[in-house]
Structure 1
């Protein structure tokens, strides 16, 4: 194991002055122009011509984007940036790719890298800005010296080895009572609660902005529920159902922490968002949140709805998200977020107590020791953006996934740091999969090679989530055969597809789809298709059609051809549709037992079809915790000074996420964030 030391900085800087550095752990950027320019880029500022700002030439550099590296190529005269070329081909076309022109124009206008991120493409923007600054440094004759933040693991070892950071490399020390790692949903809720109670804390975030908000959260018997006249929840049944969904592989005391304390969490959130920002809560329960009673006849009434809450910004909030409101809230109280500061490793004393962390600046790569006398809360997210962890920890979920809607910053670094420190990782995966990963005909599920993506792999789907894919229409495999009851939780059909060719399936419906989805009455986020109607669904169909993933035809034979069915598979497909229409006419699915109200005729042209797999939102396999949100060691004993919340916390889910218990994961995240702060702050 090689130490990263201050001496290493000096040695690499000296080497960079003589030429490029391409060692695995440390790198400098090379010029993309002539050998003379390349030589100039590595020389000192003294080689600049008198009165010149830059060494003329063309320079290129890379930095991490949303799916992999983005590349910036910049051309300089002696006094100006004259051209900018961005390569964001590895980014999601509709997000990072769409921002490329705006970023290029901003760099040219600013004549530097001090530009704003493009809304909705923050991570791509940050990568472009960082790579542009590297190019500028080269053109000024300044060596770019980088140290990789953490070992990335590999295809054989997702964990890797904990970095051994020399004391000489730690150039800064911060002291605080409480340290929160991660400015996402859990971290920002924790920070807002700590700020409201006047606690001494710091919060660090590896990116330059707070992370995206998951607006919907589940909470039990809240003030919003009482105001809406909702019946009190059967808490014993809810506890039993969550445990049963996890096959008993959870800690019911941890689940009870959410059940019993989520109402107080909601009161805290509503006190800020309604009281200070004038937002209103959209509360969902009762018939809108429940499967229709007909499901009881088919033993599917175990799908237990919860009371879901959603805050959308008021007009006066200018579209601010909850995490942004929490940021504004803490800043008004004199606190701030230490952005561009990434977790490198946890530190502990001779008794094993976690005393703080060593972090690394993602701006200039120097190391910082952060001492936290009362504890560390890790809220760093799961590992959906890390193919090494996905393939090794969740081979089944990986094999059926065709698209993703996760945060690419969630690469499991918090989980790895906790395991390095001796924490116990849940032994079973629990991915959050939605049956919405639309892909073209012939595309298998699972990773495909992607040179620009982290780990060299990415999921092939270009649309994050095709929401109508959740509807219980007829679904067939590549042989043209029906293979499962389509009236099921989101992830059940994609797991069923694990036993089908290519691990994908086609969804088929006719022109009466809107009438069908109203009758289907799906719940959770799939209700957007039912409630939004044509105005919501048609743009999604058109987007998918443009990408060659969605098809419309005047006859079933034509649809079969467009979906790629040939020979016997085409004959099977047409026979399957005919059989499905017979089941609809009889209002009795004697083949797979789907409730009659969720059958649909496929008789009225035009006919529609697409191929689907899973869309991965996040992972819920995390570090084992107790009911106080303390991390547990490999003997399931509390680790003093270490608390966990969010997608990197365990002891709650197993097998998979209970998709139709809407908002449970986010409700748990925010409830546990507050619980951890109460524990560290001595508030209970």
Structure 2
């Protein structure tokens, strides 16, 4: 099994410990899964400690997926659970534990409703069900799973501060700037952990009599682990948007005999702007601020490989175009569009965070234009009055780009994409100058191939037996995703984390 990468203090022993702390439930990681686990365990009257290596909790996601939530009932919305679960299993080619997906579907409403009742409503907010999941083609099937925190039904409401206040009021001991070093075991059971107080530069032993819950969020920030478990991710992606996720939770469990998913799973967005001339092997920027994130990148505009040739249907889940580009020269690709792009955005009917207007992140087509123009000023998006000039600025073969644009425009006239079958209403001309272009790569939000767990969220060993008092939730837990993220089930990642975090907290507290 893999040792903890890039942590030379893994060999720390009890002799190096400066002090000892006792608790019942130790939660590692203060994100969506960890905060839910802490609240759930505290509700069961357990003594709970949360450690987080950063100085704050992680982003509490908006857009919470669920099946049968109170918000959906108020909206008169019903989702066929069996169709949804089979879709998710089929999306993963059944390289998943389908029972875990049903377990999520059966318990997701409980977690979503808890957030609304305990976090949002006391602060004047609520959840709004998003019923709009129009199916436009077999490649664009969607499910109306999204529930959005809001006060006015027009904008998102952030609730991380409220959540932290809630767990504080429940008596949870939140320890920031504290990192997991190693798990402690006795008689084939996890008894606690050695952690490092980063502010004091000292090791602390935490004894956890009821269990340890790992919620550290995957390994997308750890290039060594990516090389070992998912090397293609380093070629597909030019940004990592989760710099906290160093794999500490997964590797600590592997070191006590845990079983991990054998094939990678990840969530990638097609919005990574790169300087023209970039080589993907030379770029993997760690950012917590969505640096050079082009919202327009997810829209089904003309996308060409680095030889100026169209290579895939652009009207697919976010990650699919990045996957397709990984089969093209250089792994990166270009996107070309004209000055009517804000009007085209109104007709595309995007789902999730790519849509224009609430519950998307772009309030209007004008905001989308302003977001795009900021990258013109930075030189990451280029403008030109001719296609030839645009191709030259993008360092693409001029004649190939001219042919690709002319072919695109003819398909718009024909109202038919004979190459890849993109829906006619998503075919848009490139005929109004100035013309725009950029070079894009993937940006990985997180990895999903985690530790194998059962329905009690217990981490399994290589005999598929539970390791006593060890639990995992969120992106540290596996068996749920495979390959690409199914973004046509909006809010699934956040709901997976919060639902399984809640279940893990309840189970640990019941020991």
State the TM-score, normalizing by the size of structure 2.
Answer: 0.93
CA distance in 2, matches of 1:414, 1:264: 26
1:443 aligns with 2:278: yes
Please list, as runs of the form range in 1=range in 2, the aligned pairs for 1:468-617 lying within 5 A after superposition.
468-528=296-356, 532-565=363-396, 569-617=397-445
Contact 1:203/1:336 (<8 A) preserved: yes
Gap change, CA 1:151 and 1:579, over 3 Å in 2: same
Deviation, structure 1 residue 375: 1.1
Backbone CA RMSD of aligned residues: 2.4
1:423 aligns with 2:270: no
1:681 aligns with 2:506: no
Contact 2:221/2:240 (<8 A) preserved: no
CA distance in 1, matches of 2:74, 2:175: 39
Give the equivalent residue in structure 1 for 2:123: 277
CA distance in 2, matches of 1:175, 1:588: 67
Please state whether the residue corresponding to 1:381 is helix, strand or coil. Answer: coil
CA distance in 2, matches of 1:414, 1:152: 9
CA distance in 2, matches of 1:185, 1:623: 17
1:325 aligns with 2:162: yes
CA distance in 2, matches of 1:619, 1:415: 11
Could you report, residue by residue, the CA deviation over 1:638-683 in whole angstroms, capped at 9, with x for unpaired residues?
A: 1110110011110100112112221111101111111112212229
CA distance in 2, matches of 1:610, 1:355: 52
1:213 aligns with 2:57: no
Of 367-376 and 163-172, more deviation after overlay is shown by 163-172
Gap change, CA 1:368 and 1:622, over 3 Å in 2: same
Contact 2:449/2:482 (<8 A) preserved: yes
| Pair member with larger Rg | 1
Unaligned runs of 5+ in 1: 1-149, 155-159, 449-456
Gap change, CA 1:512 and 1:380, over 3 Å in 2: same
1:410 aligns with 2:262: no
Contact 1:404/1:437 (<8 A) preserved: no
1:153 aligns with 2:5: yes
Deviation, structure 1 residue 411: 0.6
Contact 1:560/1:570 (<8 A) preserved: yes
Could you report, residue by residue, the CA deviation over 1:135-159 in whole angstroms, capped at 9, with x for unpaired residues?
A: xxxxxxxxxxxxxxx98636xxxxx
Give the equivalent residue in structure 1 for 2:471: 643
CA distance in 2, matches of 1:600, 1:682: 57
Paired residues in the alignment total 504
Contact 2:37/2:502 (<8 A) preserved: yes
Contact 2:221/2:286 (<8 A) preserved: no
CA distance in 1, matches of 2:401, 2:292: 28
Could you report, residue by residue, the CA deviation over 1:14-68 in whole angstroms, capped at 9, with x for unpaired residues?
A: xxxxxxxxxxxxxxxxxxxxxxxxxxxxxxxxxxxxxxxxxxxxxxxxxxxxxxx
Deviation, structure 1 residue 162: 8.1
Give 1:371's match in structure 2, choosing from 186, 190, 207: 207
Give the equivalent residue in structure 2 for 1:300: 139
Give the equivalent residue in structure 2 for 1:353: 189
CA distance in 2, matches of 1:290, 1:162: 51
CA distance in 1, matches of 2:47, 2:422: 56
Larger RCO: Structure 1 or Structure 2 (Cα < 8 Å, ≥ 6 residues apart)?
2
State the TM-score, normalizing by the size of structure 1.
Answer: 0.70
Gap change, CA 1:463 and 1:367, over 3 Å in 2: closer
Please list, as runs of the form range in 1=range in 2, the aligned pairs for 1:129-168 lying within 5 A after superposition.
153=5, 163-168=10-15
Give the equivalent residue in structure 2 for 1:173: 20
1:263 aligns with 2:109: yes
Please state whether the residue corresponding to 1:506 is helix, strand or coil. Answer: strand
Give 2:81's match in structure 1, choosing from 235, 248, 254: 235
Contact 1:183/1:210 (<8 A) preserved: yes
CA distance in 2, matches of 1:241, 1:680: 31
Deviation, structure 1 residue 164: 2.6
Deviation, structure 1 residue 336: 2.9
CA distance in 2, matches of 1:193, 1:312: 23
CA distance in 1, matches of 2:160, 2:234: 29
